[in-house]
Structure 1
Amino acid sequence: MKILLTLLLGAACAPLHARTPAVNPMPDGSRDMYVGLGFVSAPAYDGARRPRRMAVPVLQGEWSNGVFISGMNAGIHLSDQPSLEFGPLLAVQARRSEAGTGAALGGASLNSMMVNTSSLAPEGESPDQPGKNTRSAGPNRLSGMDVVSARLQAGGFVNVYLTPHVRLTNNVLAGAGKGSDGVIWNLGIQRVMTQFSPHHRIALAAGISVVNRSYNNSFFGVTPDEAIRSGNRAYAPGAGLNGASAGVRWHWSLTPSWLLINNVQASRVLGDARKSPLVERPNGFVLSTALAYRF
């Protein structure tokens, strides 16, 4: 699961994962912009027990030529069919330090709800028992671990509308992790509920993520050197299913220009990532709320 502590105003599950606003034909030369401020409470990183709470800015923009920006993601809609969306996608992977995953911009679109083994030890030592030169793991599992620098990821998306209110989402991004060779594939389904009030809408989303070995090793692996410094046992996860999530969002139009978006998301670390010594609690919850101005 992509490890981004971003304001998940549009989404449930992933790390952390790129969001693609729905196609909305606009007059030539027009745009639709949102700016605002939100508050998010989420695990410090995927699998962390301790929460991290912070205020984050909200930014989203769509232009009539198909270009869009949603938080830390940007892309271009190339399809002219209302039931199909596809195009290139860029996303920024936030930096992860000993403190956890850094904050990032959030997006505000209602239709942008996103879906996001073997153990190794130094020779002669048990993988479950640190050697004499390895200190015991402390309350912060990231203490002594290498910093994962921020990265620019590139890929693409293909979304299909089964009905006007149900969308299957699919995107692939490459470039994450320590060596910029991590790849994540996000699959999801989104359901916008029938509008029960002129000013209120509810949307549901669920998704899974699949990653390659490099991605898992960057965020859930522990090298022998890191094991000595951190006290975590050395661990090298493989590729495969990485996480799953589900969420619900309530969108309240206070006025034609002011929007209040509330999001609740539950996620679970899966596969080899689940067995990592860095994972303190596989289940995580994200709560967020934001006030955005549309112009």
Structure 2
Amino acid sequence: MRILLAAALSLGLASPAFAQDTAPAPVDTPPSTDPQGDFAIVGVGVGLLPDYEGSGDYSVSPVPAAIGQVSGYRFILAGNRVSVDLIKDGYGPTWDVQAGPIGVVNFNRNSRDAIDNPQVALLDERGTAIELGGYVGIGKTGVITSDYDRFSATVSYRYDVAGVHSSGILTPTVTYTTPLSTKALVGLFASAEFVERGYGRTYFSVTPAESARSGLPIYTAGGGFKNWGIGAVGMRSLTGDLTGGLQLVGGVVYRRLSGDFADSPLTRVGSPNQWIGALGLAYSF
């Protein structure tokens, strides 16, 4: 099962938002471990991220990631989020169902020092939101190119329990990954986010006091369709193959803000076009 999940680490390093699904085995590579055996793949990357949602400025940040299996249950740690699949899956070309808990630590605008834009830096800091929830999904291994390519679709919902924005986020995601050889693979994915009103008020609104201090116009954002995004990832073995050893992983994600979120003064002094890039190394054991 180690080779089934190796590609998902590249998804995690490229964009934690898209790292909930398992991944395919490389072509013509037999399983090297018990499908129900315990293992872990760990990685760390350097990510290029917007200073805040809607920012036109970017900063570099470390992005940790880990994927593994304990007693048949799979877990994924990708940057600021963690998820666990509580349904044990079969092995080989098959359909499988995914379901389990998900947690995200949201650092958006929790430090003025991390924001380059002088007007946005004058707005009130936000606390660190703790978003907890769950996800369900379905996947199919053996779709187009071989017995090992994979398509999956998931829907997650999480709610801020720390009282920062006190609202929920719904995220549908589709992912397709395919091996190119025993040493390389690529993946494509698309996602969208729908948020409740509290999210818009917290991260995209400008209060009268903030307007007087920053010069940005007063603005009240609501909820709804916040953004859509697409991305691509790749993974290449540096030692051994995708079943073990050292791998180079990387990816890029494009997200487009919409509605109240694109119209917000925070976005107007920034950009509705949001890019995320990452490059890192992973090792399995």
Which TM class, normalised by the smaller chain length?
0.7 to 0.9
Does residue 224 (structure 1) correspond to residue 212 (structure 2)? The answer is: no
Question: What's 1:197 paired with?
Answer: 181
Question: What's 2:27 paired with?
Answer: none
The alpha-carbon deviation at position 94 of structure 1 amounts to 2.0
Output the CA distance in 1 between the equivalents of 2:118 and 2:261: 18
Does residue 40 (structure 1) correspond to residue 53 (structure 2)? The answer is: no
Asked if the contact 2:12–2:18 (Cα under 8 Å) also holds between the matched residues in 1, the reply is: no
More helix by share: 2
Output the CA distance in 2 between the equivalents of 1:252 and 1:86: 29
The alpha-carbon deviation at position 48 of structure 1 amounts to 0.9
Output the CA distance in 2 between the equivalents of 1:148 and 1:98: 9
Question: What's 2:258 paired with?
Answer: 270
Output the CA distance in 2 between the equivalents of 1:18 and 1:172: 13
Asked if the contact 1:9–1:288 (Cα under 8 Å) also holds between the matched residues in 2, the reply is: no
Question: What's 1:286 paired with?
Answer: 276
Q: TM-score, normalised by structure 2?
A: 0.77
Higher relative contact order (CA 8 A, sep 6+): 1
User: SS state of the match for residue 272, structure 1?
Assistant: helix
Question: What's 2:233 paired with?
Answer: 249
Moved over 6 A (4+): 23-26
Question: What's 2:147 paired with?
Answer: none
Output the CA distance in 1 between the equivalents of 2:81 and 2:63: 15
Does residue 261 (structure 1) correspond to residue 249 (structure 2)? The answer is: yes
Q: TM-score, normalised by structure 1?
A: 0.75
Question: What's 2:56 paired with?
Answer: 49
Question: What's 1:148 paired with?
Answer: 126
CA RMSD between the two structures? 2.9
The sequence identity of aligned pairs, in percent, is: 25
The alpha-carbon deviation at position 190 of structure 1 amounts to 0.6
Output the CA distance in 1 between the equivalents of 2:264 and 2:83: 33
Asked if the contact 1:88–1:156 (Cα under 8 Å) also holds between the matched residues in 2, the reply is: yes
Per-residue deviation, residues 224-252 of structure 1 (Å, max 9, x unmatched):
22112222111111111000110000111
Output the CA distance in 1 between the equivalents of 2:173 and 2:214: 35
* Counterpart residue identity of residue 74, structure 1: V
Gaps of 5+ in 2: 1-8, 25-30, 90-94, 143-149
Question: What's 1:79 paired with?
Answer: 87
Paired residue total: 250
Gaps of 5+ in 1: 1-7, 102-137
Moved more, 16-25 or 278-287: 16-25
Does residue 89 (structure 1) correspond to residue 83 (structure 2)? The answer is: no
